[in-house]
Chains A and B, each alone.
Chain A
């Protein structure tokens, strides 16, 4: 049974020049969007190492959102293109490893599109809410529970042996 108090947790990597500025604009425009997103500002979406995405998921994020400039608008000319290429392969890899497609999303949002930040975040939060918790730390612990009983019996045996030596 999923926890009734569970709320989706989404890690967002936003580029400094476009999407983060758009999120700022959404803020100063007093647009309300779901509070489930933790935004991390990077200079460019091209800085998002695929390791960051996997690490966020492995540490308990239910989804990861990446925001960058529209193709052609990158402050560093091609950073977002590199992201797009990596992202396509990463999506295939994540699919093969059982992570639902909607948990990881790439969006191009320019500095003027505050409204779009709100729309994308709200939509993604709802999609992830429908999918339910990913909770990989708990899954890792569940996987390793199959070793517990053997480990305990070994510890028990060691304790008994230690007592024999002392007696």
Chain B
């Protein structure tokens, strides 16, 4: 029997998800033994035309990481969707938009101007910007379109499963690949990780009081963090209560609060709103001035509550930004 075919692809991502696959360490040999990797641009030399030549649905599963920002990424998402039986959003960016989707707070014009003109390290007196087509010696050179909006994979094509995390841990990756090979997958549309909040797996759980009460908020780098106590009792924002477990609390074990990369559980639609709700309700003050004073300890609500999921939040993006990026409104 031929081995099942698997593909990996990356879009708007940092490369950490590719690293996570390599982090399977010796276990990757078992995976390679069981499957046939037919496409993996970061590690193996296959081209787009090789994928185009494959029969439809001939790849059992494609694990795609990264958010979708350019026309090329859209095109590859459509192509891999067509060639795969299962398309799996691998990692926070493909699942929720990830850190790249924080760019949904700015217009395309603002981003391009900053990156190509205003960045302190940029020398670009001619204010040159990338063009989607360019003529040189009678040849036309093209670049993909840079879209106005950053999207999660399921905002572009249908997705069968999600593997969460920034990046997904080797353990949940292995469990997902195992479930796939044994045909023991849950109903379509599911997230392949436990459906319970991170606090449940956190070794500090016992120190979380029934009633948390905030008299201030501290940022992790401004305070000495007690390695044994719940971060919320230390006035530090920890996204654990609103975040899916499955990572085995790697961050809180490393004495850093959860920043929410596993996304919400299935019972929550908008992770940021839910965390905002839980956190702010427990502010100690009872008057407006006192409350706003305490809440000023969270200077960037969007970046705090939607760090990995602005694209999949209910509002998706700063709502008054233009759709056609070149008609500037900043």
Contact = CB atoms under 8 A, between A and B. Distances in A.
Contacts of A142: 323
A57 B315 contact: yes
B318 interface: yes
A54 B148 contact: no
A49 B277 contact: yes
B277 A136 contact: no
Interface in A129-167: 134, 136, 139-140, 142-147, 150-151, 154, 158
Given A89-B295, A93-B301, A147-B74, A50 B277 contact: yes
Contact of A51 (B270, B316, B319, B323): B270
B288 interface: yes
A57 B272 CA distance: 16
B42 interface: no
Contact of B301 (A71, A89, A139, A146): A89
Contact of B276 (A71, A93, A143): A93
B281 interface: yes
Contacts of B301: 89, 92-93, 96
A88 B291 contact: yes
A146 B148 contact: yes
A90 interface: yes
A32 interface: no
B142 interface: no
Given A51-B314, A147-B156, A150-B75, A139 B319 contact: yes
A136 B75 contact: no
Contact of A71 (B147, B286, B298): B286
Contacts of A88: 280, 288, 291-292, 295
Given A89-B298, A96-B318, A136-B319, A81 B286 contact: yes
B314 A85 contact: no
Contact of A97 (B78, B268, B283, B302): B302
Interface residues of B, number: 45
Nearest to A86: B280
A85 B319 contact: no
B8 interface: no
B105 A96 contact: yes
Contacts of B277: 49-51, 86
Given A88-B280, A93-B302, A96-B301, A54 B318 contact: no
A138 B327 CA distance: 19
A45 B147 CA distance: 40
Nearest to B56: A158
B149 interface: yes
Given A136-B315, A154-B78, A98 B320 contact: yes
Contacts of B292: 88
Contact of A150 (B74, B82, B276, B320): B74
Interface string A3-39: 0000000000000000000000000000000000000
Interface string B295-316: 1001001100100000001111
B212 interface: no
Interface string A57-81: 1100000000000010000000001
Contacts of B298: 89
Contacts of B281: 46, 82, 85-86
Given A89-B280, A146-B149, A49 B273 contact: yes
A43 interface: no
Contacts of A144: 149, 155
Given A71-B286, A154-B78, A89 B276 contact: yes
Contacts of B317: 97, 143
B311 to A, nearest CB: 11
A42 interface: no
Question: Which residue of A82, A96, A147 has the most chain B CB atoms within 10 A of its CB atom?
Answer: A147
A99 interface: yes
Contact of B283 (A55, A85, A90, A139): A85
Given A85-B295, A89-B301, 19 more contacts: A50-B270, A50-B276, A51-B314, A54-B270, A54-B313, A55-B269, A89-B295, A90-B276, A93-B276, A93-B302, A93-B305, A134-B319, A136-B315, A143-B323, A147-B74, A150-B74, A151-B74, A151-B78, A154-B75
6 contacts: A50-B270, A53-B273, A54-B315, A90-B273, A90-B276, A146-B145
